[in-house]
Amino acid sequence: MIFGVDYYPEHWDKSEWEHQAALMKEGGFNTVRMGEFAWKLFEKSEGEFDFSFLDEAIEILAKYGIKTILGTPTAAPPKWIVNKYDMLQRDKYGREKGWDARRECCANSPDYIARTEIIVNEMAKHYADNPNVIAWQIDNEFGCHASTHCYCEHCRKEFAKWLREKYGTIENLNEKWGSVFWSLGYDSFDDIILPAYNSCEPTSGDLWSHNPALDLEYRRFSSDSWVKYQKRQIDIIRKYTSAPVTHNLMGHFSDISAYDLSKDLDFVSWDNYPDNQWGGSEHEYVSMAHETMRGAKDKNFIVMEEQSGPAGWDIMGRTPRPGELRLWTYQAIAHGAEGMVYFRFRTALFGMEQYWFGVLDHDGVPRRRFYELQQTGRELQELNDYIINAEPRYDALIVKSYDNVWAHDIKRHTADFSYRDLLYAYYKANIDLCVGTAVSRGSYDKYKVVYMPAYNIVTDGELDEIKAYVENGGTLVLSFRSGTRDEYNRVRPIAVPGVFAEMSGIEVEEFDAPRRSVSVGGEINGAAKVWCDVIKPVTAKVISKYAGEYYSGKAAVTVNDYGKGCVYYVGCDLDDSALKELVRMISKSAGIDAKDAPDGVEIIRKTSPKGDYTVILNFNETETEVDIKGKSLIEGGEFDGKLPPLGVEIIKERDRKIKKLY
């Protein structure tokens, strides 16, 4: 398997390259990713190409058995290009984005596209037959640094063209958008605007005053623009080589559809930093990011940048504790990673990332983190046959919709509502009960339970698939703010939950964004604080009722038989413990063996060509015991059920009875 580091030979004197390659080999690393920020070195001036420094680095690394994943350098164009050509983005106030960072160029700039095609063509042609280049990475982190959306004239014209292709006539667009409101009708596609600044927009920029249909379509267009820009590069590379192509996505980042961005890639990779200067993430949140990346293509992935030290830009982040880098690595493997590349090999002496520490510190001397990864690499190579082509055993699916991400952002319902947080709440409740849970879309029939919280925008085609899933025996879980909008971001003229009403067997009479917490009681007891649907059961059975506010005694959570399956409707947000109990109830009814993991422990079941196994991850800094026994695939002996602080175990046999050591 790939076990590598991100490497920047241009940051170091050539006299150090051989020593660094030898250290990589000593550490067990077999792959580097490099080249993605070296455009200026490849093309010092227009039309003068020189790849000699990278050629030399690739050859030195190859002597030590280290292969290269080559990145195209289009995220960071040199100054001479932006001086000569019109390619910088504009923000929503019309201001030009400054050069001196990265990701400052517009995906729809003809000049940027032309220069991109030239440099990628030269690189692909030059390295087409190099046996040491085993894969390509397109660009770097599309969308980072708030670079998804551009408001330049190139984008406006391309947006108008995109809309013309979609709607055909301006009359059709006006009708679908409800442009009669505020007299916002267009006479032609030439009149199309971008949802940029206008005089009604608050200074804070937190709210928009544009037509919600315009805003949603612009976000779709912006996502499509980067997908199209990426495809241009992929097509060029594939003219010269059959080496696989990837791009390093960013987990929960949602400005660009991961489904669309990954469709032209051979495999997904992504960049994982669990704990940086901006704070740490709960381990379940990181696991959900891994699953989101696996769900982009419903296929295993590679982590192209994995945190290997304190991570920060202007201030230093927290130092990973002994064992934590190993733990994070196995967490990725458990959720679908087939390769690990750590960022970066040696910490930069200059530039923005001086505080973004790598495997080695500034002095290049191997210390604790190096040896921890060395051990981890040895273990992973021994486990290779259990890792490659392994499949997580899923029982549940969390459906993530980028249309709904964008639509909920445009119209947030209430200040405290977060679609991302709601999806995470359901994911966390499942994984805390050891329920294998995917994060993706479609293919519902593979899962016993499908969770679609706040699935507000739903197309007719999606609705047909969902109905068929439930009719054939599936369990569907919906929540408040579902089913009430069409694909144009218009509210449907039917009662909440809109197109899901018949399946849910309910009608929402009213809804409330409460000013204070509202108690919920019945089979599930808890509290709601963000949203409360006041439910009138039609054919549904009531599970829980409100015990506060003027709707006390009204239904809050229901279940309805539909065909051979059933539909749960959760009319409110629930606190963590209540939601966990609801997920336990739903899982049991669907035939899923849901049992508590100890606090701070993840238990993931997988199937591989070598057989079934269970990964146990202890995120606590104290010893924890699980009532799972069997042969350790890491150590080879019998696992006694005790996990050390930040410990990892993989066992062949499975016993799912779990307890906490107090």
In-domain check, residue 374: yes
Task: State the pLDDT at residue 658.
Answer: 43
In-domain check, residue 594: no
Task: State the pLDDT at residue 204.
Answer: 52
Phi–psi pair at 68, nearest 5 degrees: -120, 135
- Number of other residues whose CB lies within 10 A of the CB of residue 530: 20
- Do 92 and 180 lie in one domain? The reply is no
- Do 511 and 413 lie in one domain? The reply is yes
In-domain check, residue 373: yes
CATH code assigned at 126: 3.20.20.80
Describe the crossing of helices 368-382 and 17-27 by its angle, rounded to 10 degrees: 50
CATH code assigned at 509: 3.40.50.880
User: What is the reported pTM?
Assistant: 0.96
- Do 212 and 289 lie in one domain? The reply is no
- Do 296 and 444 lie in one domain? The reply is no
- Do 115 and 247 lie in one domain? The reply is yes
> What are the strands, taking DSSP E only, across 532-623?
532-537, 541-546, 555-562, 565-570, 601-608, 611-618
In-domain check, residue 509: yes
In-domain check, residue 365: yes
- Do 401 and 378 lie in one domain? The reply is no
CA distances (Å), origin 645, targets 81, 245, 260, 438, 566: 52, 38, 40, 27, 42
Q: What is the mean pLDDT of the chain?
A: 95
Query: Does residue 302 contact residue 308 with C-beta atoms inside 8 Å?
Result: no
* Domain's final residue, options 198, 216, 234: 216
Residues 340-361, mean pLDDT to the nearest whole number: 97
In-domain check, residue 347: yes
Query: Does residue 70 contact residue 137 with C-beta atoms inside 8 Å?
Result: yes
With CA atoms as reference, report the closest residue to 265 among 292, 297, 290, 303.
297
Task: State the pLDDT at residue 662.
Answer: 26
* Domain's final residue, options 216, 235, 261: 216
- Do 144 and 157 lie in one domain? The reply is no
- Do 314 and 207 lie in one domain? The reply is no
- Do 202 and 343 lie in one domain? The reply is no
**Span 434-457, pLDDT tens digits:** 999 999 998 999 999 999 999 999
With CA atoms as reference, report the closest residue to 394 among 606, 237, 201.
606
- Do 139 and 86 lie in one domain? The reply is yes
- Do 375 and 238 lie in one domain? The reply is yes
In-domain check, residue 606: yes
- Do 207 and 285 lie in one domain? The reply is no
- For residue 63, give both structure tokens: 């002597």
What's the N-to-C CA distance of the chain in angstroms? 38
Task: State the pLDDT at residue 51.
Answer: 98
Domains: count for the chain: 4
Chain centre distance of CA 293: 5
Q: Residues near 279 by Cβ (< 8 Å), separated by ≥ 6?
A: none
H or E segment and range at residue 419:
helix 419-431
* Domain's final residue, options 537, 559, 589: 589
**Span 112-140, pLDDT tens digits:** 999 999 999 999 999 999 999 999 999 99
In-domain check, residue 661: no
Domain that holds residue 416: 396-589
**Span 37-74, pLDDT tens digits:** 999 999 999 999 999 999 999 999 999 999 999 999 99
| Residues classed as catalytic | 141, 305
With CA atoms as reference, report the closest residue to 574 among 455, 429, 433.
429
**Span 316-332, pLDDT tens digits:** 999 999 999 999 999 99
CATH code assigned at 637: 2.60.40.1180
Specify which residues 549 forms β-bridges with: none
Query: Does residue 531 contact residue 512 with C-beta atoms inside 8 Å?
Result: yes
